[in-house]
Structure 1
Amino acid sequence: MECVVQGIIETQHVEEIPHEGLYSRQLRHLILFLLQHVEALEILLQGLCGVQRERLRIHELFLKNNPNLGTGSSEVRLLCDLEQTEPSWTVRHVGGAMRGAGADQISVLVRTMVESKVSKNVLRMFYVLGYRLDHELLRVGFSFQFNRGAQITVTVSSVNKMLKLHATDEAVPVTPGIQMVEVTAPASAENYTEVAAAVQSFCEYLAPLLHLSKPGVSTGVVPTAAAAAASLMSDGGGTPL
């Protein structure tokens, strides 16, 4: 099982750069897409987690099977980690969310999840099993992994779609100006309440910059995030927490 919450954070774009001739094309591109709010969130996470961030570049393929008579539909995700020297593959199946009074009383979604490392020919294998590609995405950003009452992972990424099949180099943002933040932690039927409490407690530290809620529940952006980001950027993340 896993506990998960999600949210979104705005990015700020620099509209103009003076003395254009002083910048290389790559540097100009970088500055034009300066992510002030995201940088502030990174500073905050660095202080809270005490570990270095990991770069994130994940190619996600969403596969669905063609249900035959007496067989229900199924969906799996194939994740290819493009940041590795040799791209590594993972297959993941996300099950349904826990329901009932206990689930309604916590602000963290608890759901079943099965995940396993696989070899690079996994896509061919699923095609043979009757699955077909439904859609694919490219997530680019960074993540933090640490222990704070539970083994928590925070990912901050832009979600991009491919204009051509598997053309990750030509991916374009699905929602320009917005990045997704996801906080997850593995759990079991015996300890999910403790893990959910640890995730919820950690998320309170991120409240100045973003709202986090159960997947599918849209809470929008924090109106005062710009002021919080400016404060974090001005003191380099030295604000006591």
Structure 2
Amino acid sequence: MECVVQGIIETELVEALEILLQGLCGVNKEALRIHELCLKSSPNLGFVASEVRLVCDLEQPEPTWTVRHVGGAMRGAGADQLSVLVRSVLESKASKNVLRLFYTLGYKLEYEQLRVGFSFKFQRGAQITVTVSCVNKIPKLHAVDDAVPVTPGIQLVEVTAPATSETYNEVVQAVSSFSEYLAPLIHLSKPGVSTGVAPTAKTAAASLMSDVKGMKM
């Protein structure tokens, strides 16, 4: 299972967010450059359409592929009360021939995108990962170098943590508690629930940058 919240931030404020994350996480950031392909099954593969994502980490010396299937979100009155989305996720490492395999199985390419940015991975009540990235569309098949931003001037922020059916309550609490530290800069909510840019973001960023400059003097 996976616990996740998302939000957006203006690109001009990303430096301030990075400084805040560096202080909160206590670890160095990791560069992020992910090529992602979304595939959907043909009708003859089953009664319910299947969607998988092939994810290639281009930051690795030898690009590595992962097959990722995101299942449905947890439902029920209890789940509705949670500020964090809990969903099932299946992942598996794959070889560079994985795209050819899925084409052979009858899957079709829906779209592909390139996410460029950075991430922080740390332990705080759960194994939390924060990613900050510009999401780019790829206009021509596999033409990663021609990618252009989907929403210029806006970047996606995502906080995720793995969980099980026994631990998700604790993980939800950990993700929710950490997200509160980012509240002045960014509103984080369940995927699909748009809260827009935080109205306090520019003021919070200016204050943070001023504090950093004061420490350097």
* TM-superposed deviation, 1:119: 0.7
Q: Which residue of 1 aligns with 2:175?
A: 199
Equivalent in the alignment of 1:181: 157
Match of 2:146 in 1: 170
- Give the C-alpha shift of residue 102 in structure 1: 1.2
Displacement of 1:107: 0.2
Alpha-carbon distance in structure 2 between the residues aligned to 1:213 and 1:69: 34
Paired residue for 1:106, among 76, 79, 82? 82
Residue by residue over 1:98-124, the C-alpha shift from the partner in whole angstroms, topping out at 9 and shown as x without a partner, is: 000110111000000001111111000
Question: How far 1:55 sits from its partner (Å)?
Answer: 0.3
User: Is residue 45 from structure 1 mapped to residue 21 from structure 2 by the alignment?
Assistant: yes
Any conservation in 2 of the 1:44–1:237 contact (CA below 8 Å)? no
**How far apart, CA to CA, are the structure 1 residues paired with 2:144 and 2:45?**
36
Q: Deviations over 1:127-146 (max 9, x none)?
A: 11111111000000000000
Q: Structure 1 residue 90: deviation in Å? A: 0.5
Matched length: 215
| Equivalence for 1:34 | none
Residue 16 of structure 1 corresponds to none
Over residues 132-189 of structure 1, what are the superposed CA-to-partner deviations in whole Å (9 max), with x where a residue is unaligned?
Answer: 1110000000000000000000000000001211001010000001000000000010
On the 8 A contact 2:45/2:106 being kept in 1, the answer is: no
Partner of 2:210: 234
Cα distance, 1:69 vs. partner?
Answer: 7.3
Contact 2:134 2:149 in 1 (8 A): yes
TM-score (norm 1): 0.87
CA RMSD for the aligned pairs?
A: 1.4
Give the Å deviation of 1:237.
8.3
CA contact (8 A) 1:51 1:146 kept: yes
- Runs of 4+ deviating beyond 4 Å: none
Give the unaligned 5+ runs of structure 1: 13-36
What is the match of residue 134 of structure 1? Answer: 110
State percent identity of aligned pairs.
78
Secondary structure, aligned partner of 2:99: helix
1:144 correspondence with 2:120: yes
1:153 to 125, 129, 132: 129
| Partner residue, 2:52 | 76
Partner of 1:235, secondary structure, is helix
- In the other structure, the counterpart of 2:191 is 215
**Aligned twin of 1:96:** 72
Q: Is the 8 A contact 1:88 1:120 kept in 2?
A: yes
The 8 Å contact of residues 146 and 153 in structure 1, kept in 2 or not, is answered as yes
TM-score (norm 2): 0.96
Shift of 1:227: 1.1
